[in-house]
Structure 1
Amino acid sequence: MSMIVAIDTCAIIHLMYIQRFYLLKILGFSAVITTIYVQIEFEKGYPISHDYFFELIDKKEISKYPLQIEDLVEMANIPQSKRASDAELSCFVIAKRMGWKAMTDDKTACNYIQRYISMSQGSVISLVDILLDAYSKYHLGDDELRSIQTTLKENNFHIKMDLVSEGTRRRLMTGKSV
């Protein structure tokens, strides 16, 4: 079964920091899509992230997916808040309508949006989910995961858990070993 993910700005930037965008494909995502609102955020952003985003578009690693009128209506029905941008909201709305996953690392936006949009369990993922899944499937090792966590921390994305400890716990629970 192929999976599709609607990815927002912060998740793309975090994947840029760790240089692991390829993990999405390795983990079975047949397509990574985004919206015009995410593109607008990159157009207004820093040159390094702007260039990274448009390089992903050019290489067809990410596709822009058009919003439908019903998506815009659903977005308009959610009260405007600084807690969630149109970029995050558009990814959630399109993921819900199409039965895809939404990917964000912004917990505040995620919590706010999910007050108004009902998403099924497991429909919203974050970089932590991707990293732990990649680790549990042996696509990442202990040293890589530690290095990734350090890099993210240096770029102000603090993960409260120790990824290697949590990944090891999950491996033990599922009984997967090399």
Structure 2
Amino acid sequence: MKGVVTIDKCSILNFMYINRFYLLKALGYSVITTVYVQLEFENAKHKYPDSLTYFSDLVNSGEISRFPLEIEDLVEMSTVPQSKRASDAELSCFVVAKRIGGKVMTDDGRAIKYIQRYIQMPPDSVTQLVEVLIEAYLENHLGDHELRPIQKMLADHKFVIKIDLANEAAKRRWMLGGYS
């Protein structure tokens, strides 16, 4: 088991678009989220009609567990100034991950930069979908032929990965000595 990852809405949506949520479990992560993330899904059901159903199915199947916030979490959240750069859902994921010593997963770069100004966490405790996809490739859960279609599908849903994902994953495998 690699540990616990606290996931936010944008990362869940990106997994929905590529139909690869199973990768987190395959990589050994236990996935949790907060009530604030659930509320974001409930409030966005008109904008993303299938997303609430997808989220609910993940919770009902046990793929994601709702993790309770404690008073200390709420107090720490209140020390971060309100901003459009980071939602309460993203912030709650950071606070929970920090408290339990896990990772937080979000694909919102602005939120990461903003929250890290106020919440101090180890550098490797924040991850994004790109890193999970590369990790899945390195552990042979994804093949060469899958990475470019995944990147295109994400771009079609307005999540643009600025690198060539297949090239970067192959380069990392080569650097680790994975090719003979």
Q: Do both proteins adopt the same fold according to a TM-score greater than 0.5, normalized to the shorter chain?
A: yes
Aligned pairs for 1:133-144 (under 5 A) are 133-144=135-146
Rounded Cα–Cα distance in structure 2 between residues aligned with 1:47 and 1:161: 30
Rounded Cα–Cα distance in structure 1 between residues aligned with 2:2 and 2:134: 19
SS of 1:67's equivalent in the other structure is coil
Give, as a single letter, the amino acid of the residue that structure 2 aligns with 1:32: V
Structure 2 residue aligned with 1:67: 69
Task: State the TM-score, normalizing by the size of structure 2.
Answer: 0.96
Q: Aligned pair in 2 of structure 1 residues 44, 101: CA closer, same or farther (>3 Å)?
A: same
Give, as a single letter, the amino acid of the residue that structure 1 aligns with 2:90: E
Write out per-residue CA displacement over residues 8-29 of structure 1, whole angstroms, 9 at most, x where no aligned residue: 0000000000000000011111
Give, as a single letter, the amino acid of the residue that structure 1 aligns with 2:71: I
Write out per-residue CA displacement over residues 122-175 of structure 1, whole angstroms, 9 at most, x where no aligned residue: 100000010010111121111111110000000000000000110011001111
The answer to whether the aligner puts 1:17 opposite 2:17 as a matched pair is yes
Q: How many residues align?
A: 177
Alpha-carbon shift at residue 83 of structure 1 (Å) = 0.1
Structure 2 residue aligned with 1:129: 131
Structure 2 residue aligned with 1:168: 170
Percent identical among aligned pairs is 59
CA contact (8 A) 2:8 2:93 kept: yes
The answer to whether the aligner puts 1:105 opposite 2:104 as a matched pair is no
Alpha-carbon shift at residue 177 of structure 1 (Å) = 3.7
Rounded Cα–Cα distance in structure 2 between residues aligned with 1:22 and 1:177: 26
Rounded Cα–Cα distance in structure 1 between residues aligned with 2:157 and 2:49: 16
The answer to whether the aligner puts 1:76 opposite 2:78 as a matched pair is yes
Rounded Cα–Cα distance in structure 1 between residues aligned with 2:115 and 2:80: 8
Rounded Cα–Cα distance in structure 2 between residues aligned with 1:169 and 1:118: 31
Rounded Cα–Cα distance in structure 1 between residues aligned with 2:132 and 2:33: 17
Give, as a single letter, the amino acid of the residue that structure 1 aligns with 2:34: T
Rounded Cα–Cα distance in structure 2 between residues aligned with 1:95 and 1:176: 31
SS of 1:122's equivalent in the other structure is helix
Q: CA RMSD of the aligned region, Å?
A: 1.0
Structure 1 residue aligned with 2:6: 6
Structure 1 residue aligned with 2:28: 28
Rounded Cα–Cα distance in structure 2 between residues aligned with 1:93 and 1:135: 29
Rounded Cα–Cα distance in structure 1 between residues aligned with 2:91 and 2:6: 11
Structure 1 residue aligned with 2:147: 145
Alpha-carbon shift at residue 2 of structure 1 (Å) = 3.9
Task: State the TM-score, normalizing by the size of structure 1.
Answer: 0.97
